[in-house]
Amino acid sequence: MNKIKDFLKTKALGWWFSLAACVLALVTLITYTARGGNYLSPVSNAAVACLSIGFVVNVLILIKDFKVGAFVPLLLYTGTLAILLNSEMTFISNVMFGVDGNSFDGAFWVFVIGIFATVIAAAVAAIKKMTKDK
């Protein structure tokens, strides 16, 4: 228990935002894949891969802080956001114009808000220090 306390004592604000980004990425990944897709917007394998790799890199950075490493999850999460916006655009425009009665469900809002929050948290983590100065 003391090892965990000592480990957490050395962590700065950036580490906590990185942890938040990691949790948000996991929630987004689970929600996006569990929601599934339809003929307008199938689940994007590229988005799942990009988000999964970002999550794994984020976990590694939480364990072992390497200075420039915090930008890697930010880049991967931003790429995921771009892929998701591109792959969901047909569905979004269909709902906006009411073409066939589709609507935004709760899972859609969770993963859209989740990916935006993930990118914001990762951006703050990349800017702030991960470890306190000794």
11 backbone dihedrals φ, ψ, rounded to 5°: -90, 135
pLDDT band at 69 (very low <50, low <70, confident <90, very high): confident
Spans of all domains in the chain: 20-127
Cα-Cα-Cα-Cα torsion 33, 38, 39, 42, nearest 10 degrees, comes to -10
Is residue 109 pLDDT above 80, yes or no?
yes
Q: If you average pLDDT over every residue of the chain, what do you get?
A: 89
Nearest to 29 by CA among 104, 80, 73, 86: 80
Q: What is the pTM of this model?
A: 0.88
pLDDT band at 129 (very low <50, low <70, confident <90, very high): confident
Is residue 4 pLDDT above 90, yes or no?
no
